[in-house]
Structure 1
Amino acid sequence: MTMTRTGKRATKEQHAAAEYLGSLDDPLARWVQSTGPIDAYDAHLAVTVRSPLEWFSFAVTSRQLSRASRLAIYARLLAQFGGAITAERVVSTDERILRDVGLSHQKARTIRALAERVDDGLLDPDELAAMTDAEIHALLVAVPGIGPSSAQRFMLHYLRRSDIFLAGDLTVRQAITVLDQLNSVITPKGAEQRSGPWQPYRSYATSYLRGYMWELHPAVLPAHG
């Protein structure tokens, strides 16, 4: 998987992020300079999602599954709900039916819990837009089955927040380890501390780091990179 380079199509934010990260006295800077502006938010999803609930439904469905399995189960889930996953449809559907499309008990419970939050207005896009990163993170991790990583990926890829750093992502940590010439893979806590200089464009730093591994060191990537 490669980064989405934007080149002449780059937005002001994409230019600003590339210029800032490329100007730092930091091992990442040379890679940023050679790559140029990118779309940090492109999640390379194999499906189209039209709401926070659909984004999370696909993310939850995908956990620990091969590409073929996640796409097949999600397609059955969409079909079960008539082509669109809405809070009303999920809440009114028996969990057994969710299990029948291929979801585990835990995944079915998580999607239902999210739907209940949406039904209560707690994942309204307009309300999310007015909240800080910290407020959104706290709101999401309070939902059973949604951890910090899922919350961060949602804020980065769906809400397109510019300063989200995936410190727990193994590919990101491997990239830091290679660039900084460390003897062992940096810990999530260490990666979080290391990300300080990349503020306020840590979403971009995340994508540059992942791209560095995808394109230059694919042989050492984790199985689900």
Structure 2
Amino acid sequence: MPRHARGFDTVAAYDWLSRRDRKLGTWMRRLGPIEPDPRWRRAFDPVDALARAILFQQLSGKAAATIVGRVEAAIGSTRLHAGTLGTIDDVALRACGVSGNKTLALRDLAAREAAGDIPGLRRMATMDNEAIIAALVPIRGIGRWTVEMMLMFRLGRADLLPVDDLGVRKGAQIVDRLDAMPTPRELALRGERWAPYRTYAAFYLWRIADAAQAAKTPTPRSQ
């Protein structure tokens, strides 16, 4: 059974994409190489990562971090999983600032972990992207985008393009000088030329979208 490495050669990806796509390549040279994500080499608990993803949904980073800190204090652990979440009841979770829907999602996550339905890192290494997505999206509160972010930023899968992500779509619009953002289907077709490094292309599309947004922000001037 083939194993999927965590991370990929970003030098090879840069060389491939900059030669493969002239328009994207122009932006890549302007922005410079993107270094490998250090998280690709770090061990992590997928259940803990998913629990944190649930808690961070629809909140600012600061507010979510405060709630996560309260939950960690309440369970006496920095790891969120079936064992530690089982030590706190729903009332205590709500007191930490966790919404009712997120409480239900955490309970579903813990139940599925206890049932052995959530693959660990060793098993994920033998699964392709779509198999991992199919295994995790049945969890309440976990959608395809959340799993794609884990695949890209934690597992370092090289060839994944999150076509529903607004930042990626906006970056593609800027690269191709389109009047409107491409639809997910149009972006998927456009991205076929970026294989097998679609993840690295997405990293640049995010940066391109961020650069365009920053350029629109007025520069403070002294009076």
Tell me if TM exceeds 0.5.
Answer: yes
For residues 157-176 of structure 1, what are the structure 2 equivalents within 5 Å?
Answer: 157-176=153-172
Q: How many residues align?
A: 207
Equivalent position of 1:63 in the other structure? 57
Match of 1:24 in 2: 20
Match runs of 1:1-225 below 5 Å = 13-39=9-35, 41=37, 50-84=44-78, 85-121=80-116, 122-218=118-214
Normalising to structure 2: TM-score of the pair?
0.83
Greater mean alpha carbon deviation, residues 143-152 or residues 53-62: 53-62
* Length-normalised TM-score, structure 1: 0.82
Write out per-residue CA displacement over residues 115-163 of structure 1, whole angstroms, 9 at most, x where no aligned residue: 2222233231111111111100100112122111111111111211111
Matched-pair contact (CA < 8 Å) for 1:22–1:30: yes
CA RMSD of aligned residues (A): 2.4
Task: Give the C-alpha shift of residue 89 in structure 1.
Answer: 1.6
Question: Secondary structure of 2:58's partner?
Answer: coil
Q: Work out whether residues 172 and 206 of structure 1, in 8 Å CA contact, stay in contact via their aligned partners in 2.
A: yes
For residues 107 and 201 of structure 2, the distance between their equivalents in structure 1, rounded to whole angstroms, comes to 33
1:33-62 Cα distance to aligned partner (Å, 9 max, x none): 33443236468xxxx994212222222111
Contact 1:17 1:37 in 2 (8 A): no
Structure 2 unaligned blocks of 5 or more: 1-6, 218-223
Q: Bigger shift: 131-140 or 75-84?
A: 75-84
Q: What is the CA deviation profile of residues 10-50 of structure 1, one whole-angstrom value per residue up to 9, with x for unaligned ones?
A: x970111101111113411112233443236468xxxx994
Letter in 2 for 1:61: L
Q: 1:193 to 1:75 in 2, by over 3 A?
A: same
Is there any run of 5+ residues in structure 1 with no aligned partner, and where? 1-10
Which secondary structure does the structure 1 equivalent of 2:59 belong to? coil
The whole-number CA distance in structure 1 between the counterparts of 2:156 and 2:187 is 21
CA contact (8 A) 1:141 1:147 kept: yes
Q: Distance in 2 between matches of 1:173 and 1:186?
A: 6
